[in-house]
Chains A and B, each alone.
Chain A
Amino acid sequence: MESIPVEHGLILAAILFSIGLIGVLTRRNIVFVLMSLEIMLNAGGLAFIVGASRWGHAEGQIMFLMILTLAAAEVAVGLGLIIQMFRRYKTVDINVLSEMKG
């Protein structure tokens, strides 16, 4: 009675992952893009926790910790880049970064 189907946890992660993906694909504001990336990473973390729960392992949680770490680092670097970008272009529009092509 006290149980949740594994697939539901995974599907939730997939939904969040997809939403994050949509965010990355549609938003032109780079801050939102970064946030969407966080959603994707978080969805991955969720999937690991589901896995950990299914196997009764702590390993999934450790992986989650690592994701947390890398998300933090990524956000730090990403925000640093956003600051530089805003300084240079005075906008957060990601499309200004299209000078290289071909």
Chain B
Amino acid sequence: MQDLIWLLPTYPVLGFFVLVLTAGRLPKNIVAIIGAGSVGLSFFTAVIIATQFLSSGENYFIKEVWTWMAVGNFSPGFNFYLDGLSLVMMLVITGVGFLIHLYATGYMADDPSYSRFFSYMNLFVAAMLMLVLGDNLVVLYLGWEGVGLCSYLLIGFWYINPDNGYAARKAFVVTRVGDTAMALGLFLLFTELDTLNIQDMLYAAESEWEVGNDLAVAAALLLLGGAVGKSAQLPLQTWLPDAMAGPTPISALIHAATMVTAGVYLIARTHILFELAPSVQELVGWVGLITLLMAGFIALTQSDIKRILAFSTMSQIGYMFLALGVGAWSAGIFHLMTHAFFKALLFLASGTVILSLHHEQNIFKMGALRQKLPVSFFSFLIGSLALTAFPYTSGYFSKDEILIAAHGLEGPGIIFFYGGVLGAFLTGIYTFRLFFIVFFGDSNAAHPPEKEYGGWNMNGPLILLMILSLVGGFIAVPLDPVFGHHEEHHVSGLLHGFMIAVPLVGIAISFLFFYTKTFSVEKLMSNTFAQTLHKFWNNGWGFDWLYDRFIVFPFLWLARINRADIVDGFYTLIVEISRTANVMIVKTQTGYLRWYALSIAAGLLLLITIGVLL
């Protein structure tokens, strides 16, 4: 049965082809069956494979399908590699993916491009599976680019609005910057180690390079470049908020649960390389820390429900990076999984809210939705609690592990720890700010919802995800064979209490500000410093501004001034010279006989002079 692992991506690919080739001629329910069903089949297969794998007791399993290309010693194949890590990823992708597909069958029901939507979704799942299951970096890169493409296609799904197109292109191009770095990393690894098969490569790296080797550092840095691009970490984070232009299930699937965590997967997958380059590993931690804090602050100021969630995603991935940076590989992946549950939940719930409010996304135009939208309310409640690491929700366990591991690290560990705690505090504030504003208080909606949108296909996934968000923390991930068993870190009870309490304080502050309105935001915002800060945060710490000024505008300017291609000007100049020469020389053809005779005499004189004198 494990041999059938190749079926995993095959189902969605088939789904994709069927949907593309029928080009929207199928009725919607058939499309839904194909679209969601193919992923469901994958999930089903994945579960079977997972049980078999876990029961087999093997640490890994390889299935070779065919050699992609063989050029000299470069011969990556379409081979599948299954171990604990890819098992988790595979299950998350197919499982959460299936739920989101299911949800989308309801969510997109009124969209004319129904079939196009599901074709892209299916392609995405296939690509994502290739990413996590490939046994070599080239196949991983195939999936990597594939998910990027689908992300582009789905962000720009509603193409009529040029802003969506812009967001889509931004997402693609910015991540491609990272991808290019990653490709260079691949080149470097292959040039030095002669293989791109991940396990062989890691083995070779381990045996050829000592810790801190420059090449290892360079390779790890380049891979990190790819990871930060895909996972929207500093400095390539700017695309993620804009990516919310896509339909909400997309935000849930791609920009929360799966694709954006690919960077985490990549680093975890090649963790040996990062261990060989401790400086880069520490950098990963720093990137995570800064991103999580930055995103937290930004989330405080946002008003778009999906953007808030997007920044929170960014922030949570920051935690995962932090985990990777401190070497808590398992914790990172564990958080990846729990995050997939509760963030998907939050996004899907926000989708229901948005649909019910006729595509209203501004939280200040919502309010008092608790009664009207009960499913969303509960979803949000559970999701938010998990997000803020409320004790014994799934997020609690994973975040706990990360912070404890950070605390246990020498050197910057203590900064990582307190930074992480501060991030948790911010999480508490912005999450419940959203929660309270949307579900409590007065209704500010222009079109108050008549009823909650959604049937079983939308609510079912929500309920399942609620359960997972609550109890997901108890799932034991089989990662030890992959990362080796790390020593358990412990913190003192007091510190642990502090860790638990801080997010709760955050929630409490939110409560006071937005529920009871004991404190007034307006008052807080009255001084200019606060306003400036707010504006600064609201604009994402000015990164977009910076990139526009220093990269985008110069590029556009260069493009504009050189539209006619200056190189061509050189040839035009030659033409002009010929033309001028022609005009000048034609003047010598005066038609006067005596002038002609003179030219002969002058020519004669000239030639004799040259001949005699030289």
Contacts and interface: CB of A to CB of B under 8 A. Distances in A.
Are chains A and B touching directly in their complex (CB below 8 angstroms)? yes
A80 interface: no
A28 B589 contact: no
A29 to B, nearest CB: 11
Contacts of A99: 591
B601 A98 contact: no
Contact of A25 (B589, B590, B594): B594
Interface in A13-60: 21, 24-26, 28
B594 A94 contact: yes
B592 interface: yes
Interface string B576-614: 000000000010011111100110010000000000000
A98 B595 CA distance: 11
Contacts of A28: 594
B593 A102 contact: no
B597 A101 contact: no
A100 interface: yes
A86 B601 CA distance: 27
Interface in B532-588: 586
A98 B593 contact: yes
A97 interface: yes
Interface residues of B, number: 10
Contacts, number: 27
Contacts of A97: 593
A102 B589 contact: yes
12 contacts: A24-B597, A25-B594, A25-B598, A25-B601, A94-B593, A94-B594, A95-B592, A98-B591, A98-B592, A98-B593, A100-B591, A102-B591
Nearest to B593: A94
A101 B590 contact: yes
Contacts of B601: 21, 25
Contacts of A25: 594, 597-598, 601
Contacts of A21: 601
- 3 smallest CB-CB distances across A and B, nearest first, come from A101-B591, A98-B591, A98-B592
Contacts of A95: 592-594
Interface of A: 21, 24-26, 28, 94-95, 97-102
Given A98-B592, A102-B589, 15 more contacts: A24-B597, A25-B594, A25-B598, A25-B601, A94-B594, A95-B592, A95-B594, A97-B593, A98-B590, A98-B593, A99-B591, A100-B591, A101-B589, A101-B590, A102-B591
Interface of B: 586, 589-594, 597-598, 601
A39 to B, nearest CB: 14
B316 to A, nearest CB: 81
A97 B592 CA distance: 7
Nearest to B595: A98
Contacts of B594: 24-26, 28, 94-95
A26 B593 CA distance: 11
Nearest to A30: B593
Contacts of B589: 101-102
Nearest to B591: A101
Contacts of B598: 25
Nearest to A21: B601
Contacts of B597: 24-25
Contacts of B591: 98-102
A102 B586 contact: yes
A91 B601 CA distance: 26
A17 to B, nearest CB: 11
A94 B591 CA distance: 11
A28 B586 CA distance: 23
A96 B598 CA distance: 17
Contacts of A94: 593-594
A94 B594 CA distance: 8
A82 to B, nearest CB: 13
A72 to B, nearest CB: 22
A29 B39 CA distance: 103
Contacts of A102: 586, 589, 591
A101 to B, nearest CB: 3
